[in-house]
């Protein structure tokens, strides 16, 4: 009889000892965000302004935008997976390809090639963009990252930021500060309808391209010999070097692939949104970084999933969570929602949706 309260007290104490204050606090914050989201969603749905079709539209828009984020995030995550460094200049690598290829696209549009030989023209544009981006990526690696490979990670972060500024203003100096617009490619315009739903050709192209690129990168990393070597370098540089893997070469290859991916994404971005500008890489770069983290940084399928999630949060979130509360101009807050959702996901899954276990140790 006397033992029971004591044991239950001990149980409570044991139980409370297992619960970390940190966890508790985090759960409170997470719970508060969740309650806000649920309440907002219910309020919005009860308003009943938007039809089912519009809700589907929001999701499709989100997926298409997410495809763009994923395209950029793949290059990001590729470099991160190998070097464990935030390549802040990746957005500028993306910009450099799309911006340079603009001049080719413009010339091709003027002499009518785009209409006559659309496939060749497009291939040329992709080639120029991917080539430029890869070149820029390799140069940045050689000049700004390689000498600091053994320095603390923050040092490389700062050189990455420096490289990002430098590239922005270098391209501004070279090509000017105006907005340039990619020519129209009629064969990419238009939309498919599926009953009431409509999706633009380009949106499909972007989603398919992102998925394809993810598959190619994934297979490359998992199945090829080079991929294996890159993975070895990412696990342990010293051991990889002892196994006869040229660490420098593998890292250069990583940057080349990251650059090619960025150049590829750049042209698709430019075809979809038309405009190129020296500052165009900065925000998508940040968004792609967010997407990569959301999915679990360093993880290739994670970048894809992170991109899709981010796109959907941005497209659906403001209206679903905020409109019900009667908040003015909810789309102004879409990035705030995206980041709040990021916090929410990371509270419950601290290494992202598909986060790898290694991260705790290495990050």
Partner 1 sequence: MTTVTTLRARFGAATGNPFSGGAWRIPVRYGAVAGVTAVFVSLIGMVEAFSRREVIETAVSMDQVLLLVITGTAGYLAASRFAARGIGKSVIAATLSGVIATLFLLALLVLGDRINLRQVLLNASPSLYLELTFGKGLGTGAGLLALQIIAGAVGSGLIALLPPAPRRALLIGLTVVAGMGILHDLMSLTFQNWGPLSVLDTWLYSSTGLKVRGASALFLIFGGWSLLWAMKGPQIRERSKTLPLARSAARPVALLAALVLLAALPQILGLFLSEVLVLVGLAALMALGLNIVVGMAGLLDLGYVAFFAIGAYTMAILTSSELAFFGFNFWAALPLAILAGVVTGVLLGVPVLRMRGDYLAIVTLGFGEIVRLLVLSDALRPWLGGAQGIGRIPRPEIGSFEFVSSQQVYYLVLGGCVFAAFISWRLKGSRLGRAWLAIREDEDVAAAMGINRVYFKLLAFAAGAAFAAMSGAIAASRLGIIYPHSFSLLISINVLAIVIIGGMGNIPGVVIGAFALVGLPEILREFGDFRWLVYGAALVGMMLLRPAGLWPEAIRKRELTARPAGVPETPSTSPSAGDTS
Partner 2 sequence: MRRFSFLGLLIMVLAVLAVACGGGASTTAFTPPSDPIGVIKIGPKDPIRIASALVISGADANLGTDSQRGVELAIADRKAIKGHSIQLQAEDDGCSSEGGQAAGTKLAANPQIVGVVGTSCSSAARAAAPLITKAGKVMVSPSNTAPSLTAPDRSADFAGYLRTAHNDKVQGAVAAKFAREQLKVSKVATIHDGSPYAEQLQAVFAAEFKKLGGQITAQEAVAPTDTDMRPVLTKIAAGKPDLIYYPIFVAAGGHVTTQARKTSGLEQVKLMSADGTFAVDFLKAASDAAVGVYHSSPDFSAFAGGYADFKAKHKAKYGEDPVSAFHAHAYDAAMIMFKAIEKVGVEGPDKSLYIPQKALRDALFATKDHQGLTGKINCDKNGDCADPKIAVYQNSADNVKQAKVPDTPIWKPY
Judged by the rule CB under 8 A, the positions of this chain that interact with partner 2 are 49-50, 53-54, 57-58, 61-62, 64-65, 68, 169, 172, 176-181, 184, 191, 198, 200, 272-275, 277, 279, 282-283, 314-316, 318-319, 323, 328-332, 334-335
- CA-to-CA separations, 280 to 92, 98, 172, 286, in angstroms, rounded: 8, 10, 11, 11
Rounded-to-integer distance, Cα 164 and Cα 169, Å: 9
Is residue 339 a contact point for partner 1 (CB under 8 A)?
yes
Residue 23: contacted member of partner 1, partner 2, none (CB under 5 to 8 Å, by partner type): partner 1
Using CB under 8 A, pick the residue from 28, 39, 212, 215 that binds partner 1: 28
Phi, psi for residue 20 in degrees, rounded to 5: -85, 145
The single residue among 130, 134, 163, 280 that binds partner 1, judged by CB under 8 A, is 163
CA atoms within 13 A on the CB side of 24: 7
- Quote the least distance from Cβ 148 to partner 1, whole Å: 6
Least distance between partner 2 and beta carbon 149 (Å): 32
The answer to whether 265 touches 68, Cβ cutoff 8 Å, is yes
* Beta-strand relationship, 180-181 and 275-276: antiparallel
Residue in 291, 296, 302 with CA at minimum distance from that of residue 350: 296
Q: Per DSSP, what are the bridge partners of residue 132? A: none
Structure tokens at 10: 């001990």
The residue (of 102 and 264) whose beta carbon lies closer to partner 1 is 102
3 state SS of 183:
coil
* Continuous segment of H or E residues that includes residue 160: helix 153-175
**96 or 351: CB nearest partner 1:** 351
Instruction: Give the CA distances from residue 195 to residues 51, 53, 178, in Å, rounded to whole numbers and listed in that order.
Output: 15, 11, 41
36 binds, among partner 2, partner 1, none (CB under 5 to 8 A by kind): none
Segment contacting partner 1 by CB under 8 A, of 6-14, 129-137, 149-157, 199-207: 149-157
Closest approach of partner 1 to the CB of residue 77, in Å: 11
Structure tokens at 192: 């498919």
- Whole-angstrom Cα distance, residue 72 to residue 261? 7
Residue range at the interface with partner 1 (CB under 8 A); choices 38-46, 196-204, 210-218, 330-338? 330-338
| Shorter beta-carbon distance to partner 2: residue 169 or 339 | 169
Contact region for partner 1 (CB under 8 A) — 190-198, 253-261, 308-316, 355-363?
Answer: 355-363
Residue 17 contacts partner 1 per CB under 8 A: no
From CA 343, how far away is CA 348, in angstroms rounded?
A: 9
Query: With respect to partner 1, which residue has the nearer C-beta, 53 or 249?
Result: 249
The footprint of partner 1 on residues 278-297 (CB under 8 A) is 286, 289-290, 293, 297
43 binds, among partner 1, partner 2, none (CB under 5 to 8 A by kind): none
With contact defined as beta carbons under 8 Å apart, do 36 and 223 qualify? no
- The least CB distance from residue 21 to partner 2, in Å, is 37
Q: How far apart are CA 86 and CA 312, in angstroms?
A: 24
- Least distance from C-beta 144 to partner 1, angstroms? 5
Find the part of the chain contacting partner 1 (CB under 8 A) among 7-15, 45-53, 141-149, 267-275.
141-149
């Amino acid at each position: 009889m006397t033992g029971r309260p004591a044991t239950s007290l001990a149980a409570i104490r044991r139980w409370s000892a297992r619960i970390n204050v940190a966890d508790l606090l985090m759960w409170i914050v997470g719970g508060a965000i969740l309650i806000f989201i649920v309440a907002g969603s219910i309020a919005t749905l009860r308003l009943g302004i938007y039809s089912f079709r519009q809700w589907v539209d929001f999701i499709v828009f989100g997926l298409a935008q997410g495809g763009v984020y994923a395209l950029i995030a793949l290059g990001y995550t590729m470099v991160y997976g190998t070097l464990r460094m935030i390549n802040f200049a990746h957005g500028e690598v993306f910009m450099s390809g799309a911006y340079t290829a603009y001049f080719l696209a413009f010339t091709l549009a003027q002499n009518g090639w785009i209409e006559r030989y659309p496939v060749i023209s497009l291939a040329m544009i992709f080639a120029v963009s991917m080539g430029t981006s890869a070149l820029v990526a390799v140069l940045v690696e050689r000049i700004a990252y390689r000498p600091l490979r053994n320095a603390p990670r923050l040092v490389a972060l700062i050189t990455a930021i420096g490289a990002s500024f430098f590239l922005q203003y270098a391209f501004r100096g070279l090509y000017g500060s105006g907005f340039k617009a990619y020519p129209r490619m009629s064969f990419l315009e238009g939309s498919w309808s599926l009953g009431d739903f409509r999706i633009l050709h380009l949106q499909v192209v972007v989603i398919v391209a992102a998925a394809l690129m993810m598959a190619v990168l994934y297979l490359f990393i998992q199945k090829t010999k080079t991929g294996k070597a890159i993975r070895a370098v990412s696990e342990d540089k010293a051991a990889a070097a002892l196994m006869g893997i040229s660490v420098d070469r593998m890292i250069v290859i990583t940057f080349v692939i990251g650059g090619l991916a960025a150049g590829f994404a750049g042209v698709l971005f430019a075809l979809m949104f038309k405009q190129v500008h020296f500052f165009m890489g900065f925000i998508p770069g940040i968004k792609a970084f967010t997407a990569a983290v959301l999915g679990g940084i360093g993880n290739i399928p994670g970048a894809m999933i992170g991109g899709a999630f981010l796109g959907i949060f941005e497209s659906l979130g403001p209206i679903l969570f905020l409109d019900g509360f009667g908040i003015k101009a909810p789309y102004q807050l879409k990035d705030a929602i995206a980041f709040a959702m990021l916090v929410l996901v990371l509270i419950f899954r601290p290494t992202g949706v598909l986060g790898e276990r290694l991260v705790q140790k290495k990050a």
